[in-house]
Structure 1
Amino acid sequence: MNLEAARELLPDYALGLLEPDEAAAVERLLASEPGLRAELQQYLQAAEALAFAYEPVELPPGAAERIAAGVRDRIAAASTPAPEPIPLRPRSAIAPWRAIALASAAASLVLAVGLAAAVMAWLDARSESDRLRDELAARPLQLPISGDGAAGAIYVAPDFSSGLLVLRGLPPAPQGHHYQLWSEGPYGARSAADFEGSQGPLVVQLPELPREMTRMFVTLEPDGAAGDRPQGPELLSTPR
């Protein structure tokens, strides 16, 4: 394909109406001809501007090709012989008008496809947002807890119906003592669980917890303590 033939096909290329082999031939020349690329940019801008000037309509499959073919037929039919022979104008001189005619004819399809893609993208984004919201709502609350050389986290169910205490570095309680986990809030301090320490990772199942609690903490309590209020030293705590 020579440069003049490629220039003639630029309008169809800008609208995506070329066959794959024709498009590939045009692209090879576009890669080596800056002037051709500049002309193509003008056609692309004209097609985009015209596309957004139309109301969206739904066209059946193949409508773009039929519209383009009809435009070509009308352009051919409108060409009548002049009374006297005159020099033919170069193809490049009429190419912009042909490009605008094709762009105008196919603009409805371009906008419809663009809007359909935008709607699908929005629906996908909304679905993803809903999925993330549901996922976050189902995730447990995570409260870091640390102190006295130990650290871990308290995982609380979204509805506060249960929880888990996961700790590392808390040694077994001294003889005659145990550890007590408390929740704290407007109600004061309330026992959540008692447990022994461990040389390794420690996991403690927790019961339903108060929704109004503001923090949780661990104390070292003497065995036999009533468990209605903390008596021993505080060793670990979540952020206040």
Structure 2
Amino acid sequence: MPPAKKRARRYDPVRTRAAVLAQFANVREAVGGLGPDQLALPTRLGDWTVRDLVAHIGMALTAVHRALDLPAPPRQNVTVVEWPFATAANSTAIDEFTRRLAAGHPDLDAYLADVDRSLRALLDEHPGGRLLETSAGAMPLDDYLVTRAVEIVVHTDDLTAAVAGLDVPHDRQALAATTRLLADALAVKAPGGSTEVRVPPYAVVQCVEGPRHTRGTPPNVVETDPLTWIRLATGRLAWKDALAEAKVSASGERADLGDLLPLLA
């Protein structure tokens, strides 16, 4: 008998919407206190400055606006867990759009406030089942908002890394959704049941081909914390460096994830 097909994870749409707005509010509060010198600092994202990064965070949310301006596609053709694999193909266009956006909005506080107001209005107006044509494919608004949570959480961490003394908090639900989506994406990329990846308290997934574990302690286990996992999954942290710095534990012959990461670049 073939193994049962794993049921796709579902995300509470009310919590997801609240998480996106809450994390964006955290970013707005932090950015409001930055001066010109801090906005000109480099980031770990190529030659983007902090100003470019902040503009990009706003752009990640106005992607909802742009998608809602388009006609609804006839049918869904992509699931939310497939979204991470589609991001790299759009990197050049994203970079160009971000730079134009940063140059065209010298008052970042006003820009982010406008993004917040308009997004809230759109979310009040449109049902979560409304299909959107996104850069990854057609998916419901509720699912697309999960990807927006990922974008904001990942770039919140980039922002904290770029500005000394800045510690932008992560909304718990936004962090949970990001951790789970990226863990599920690993299971899609490397299907199997020989290795258990644990990211407490938010996610546990089985992955990697090999003997399937059914009882007791798995022979191949990887465990880390949410932010370390997100950095690994997005290429902010190399697997070998995470091991050397004891930020991840890996036991068993199939516990080396180095060739599978990053998932989102």
Higher fraction of strand: 1
Question: Which structure ranks higher in relative contact order (CA pairs < 8 Å, sequence separation ≥ 6)?
Answer: 2
Radius of gyration: which is bigger? 1
What TM-score do you get using the length of structure 2 for normalisation? 0.21
Higher fraction of helix: 2
